[in-house]
Amino acid sequence: MTIAAVRTHRLSAPLHTPFVTALRRTTTVETLVVEVVDADGRSGYGEAPQVWQVTGASVAGSEACVRELIGPAVTGRDADDLVARCTEVQRVVVGNEAAKAAVDVALHDLAARRLGVPLVRLLGGTALRVPTDVTLAAGEAVDLAAAARQRRAEGFGVLKLKVGTDAAGDLERVRAVRSAVGNGVRIRLDANQGWTPREAVRVIRGVEDAGLDVELVEQPVARWDLDGLAWVSDRVDVPILADESVFGVRDLVEVIRRRAADMVNVKLAKCGGLHPARTLLDLAAAHGLGTVVGSMMESQVGIGAAASLVGAYGTTAVADLDAAWWLAWSPVRGGLRYEGATVVLPDAPGLGISSVTEVKMQAHS
């Protein structure tokens, strides 16, 4: 069955709470949803989130890439020849991982729909329930403590605390959150490249000496500073999770070669989709690295694909897939839902998405 059209939809949806990290502050999700349509009129969906400060991807840039290069490369080709189509997606353009991810996921979603199975089944798994952490946006200690208590009351057992905006005050922030939730909740830290290597070691050792029981520390230093990342990893006991330092396979190979981190966070919008994401997970496992699957600020489209990957492949630590939970309303019909700290995938073909909401959306063929 041939691919008849590749369409793009621009989405803007508000968050119920501002999302603040060491890199940015946002109150909306700005994203591009890609729709791949076969000759029978079936549609598969994928997503390219706009994240200027992390991937450099924009809605306009991803849309141009899909419309001018990736879309024409797959239109008219066999939708059922999934590996070949995904390989073409990766080869047709340099970079543009978010655009590649959107088309890659849409092709997978369409293939699962054509077979009448959930995407997780197409990927080789059966789990429709995937636990997730929830993020505590960067802020002052008292506000973080209040947010932590609320998230715990809502059923979340793993809290990801955004730090890195102020190294001098970060230990107190961690202390406040631990005091607020007690010992029954896991806490992980994400500095989003906000510390220098020396600051990272100072803060992490302070956390260790205070007995605050932090599960892991994500991307403590600048993404390009692999020597600094390795220097930190060598000097602390808490596992270090590489995020922005690893986009694709070559990045992960270098992290492994330098022993720069203990774990890797795999994100579809960083690596280019489900096809390369599976390679990253296999490579990490082969070299004894821990794994997390995370996301950018995305809708149910991107989170559904990432959760399906976790449902099929698993990870060594709880996934980081709360992004769609932050949305004030859903920009899509159908798809996943949240039950407390669990992403619940629909027992329906593909991602289970029936349409993209027309509100604040522009469609192009």
User: At 41, which CATH number?
Assistant: 3.30.390.10
For residues 105 and 162, membership in a common domain is answered with: no
Reply yes or no on whether the pLDDT at 122 is more than 80: yes
Comparing C-alpha atoms, which of 259, 267, 251 is closest to residue 233? 259
Domain that holds residue 274: 129-354
For residues 323 and 259, membership in a common domain is answered with: yes
Reply yes or no on whether the pLDDT at 362 is more than 70: no
- Say whether 361 counts as a known binding-site residue: no
Contact 125, 312 (CB under 8 A): yes
- Say whether 218 counts as a known binding-site residue: yes
Q: Is residue 122 part of a domain?
A: no
For residues 192 and 66, membership in a common domain is answered with: no
Strands 158-162 and 134-136: parallel
Query: Which residue out of 100, 267, 270, 360 is catalytically annotated?
Result: 267
Region 215-231 average pLDDT: 98
Partnered with residue 241 across adjacent β-strands are 218, 263
In this structure, of 27-31, 179-183, 267-271, 272-276, the range with the lowest mean pLDDT score is 27-31
- Say whether 24 counts as a known binding-site residue: yes
Active site residue 100: no
- Say whether 81 counts as a known binding-site residue: no
Write down the pLDDT at residue 21.
Answer: 80
Write down the pLDDT at residue 22.
Answer: 62
Reply yes or no on whether the pLDDT at 134 is more than 70: yes
- 135: pLDDT confidence band, cut at 50, 70 and 90? very high
SS (H, E, C) 61-79: HHHHHHHHHHHHHHCCCEC
Partnered with residue 333 across adjacent β-strands are 355
Reply yes or no on whether the pLDDT at 74 is more than 80: yes
For residues 138 and 245, membership in a common domain is answered with: yes
Helix (H) or strand (E) holding 265: strand 263-267
In degrees and rounded to multiples of 5, residue 260 shows phi and psi of -85, -20
For residues 111 and 134, membership in a common domain is answered with: no
- Say whether 78 counts as a known binding-site residue: no
Region 33-39 average pLDDT: 96
Write down the pLDDT at residue 18.
Answer: 80
Query: Which residue out of 100, 162, 270, 360 is catalytically annotated?
Result: 162
Q: Is residue 149 part of a domain?
A: yes
Q: How many folded domains does the chain comprise? A: 2
Comparing C-alpha atoms, which of 66, 84, 48, 90 is closest to residue 250? 90
Active site residue 267: yes
For residues 44 and 148, membership in a common domain is answered with: no
pTM here is 0.93
DSSP summary character for residue 132: B
Taking phi first (over 0 means left), then psi (-120 to 50 degrees means alpha), and beta for anything else, what does residue 151 get? alpha
Reply yes or no on whether the pLDDT at 359 is more than 50: no
For residues 82 and 147, membership in a common domain is answered with: no
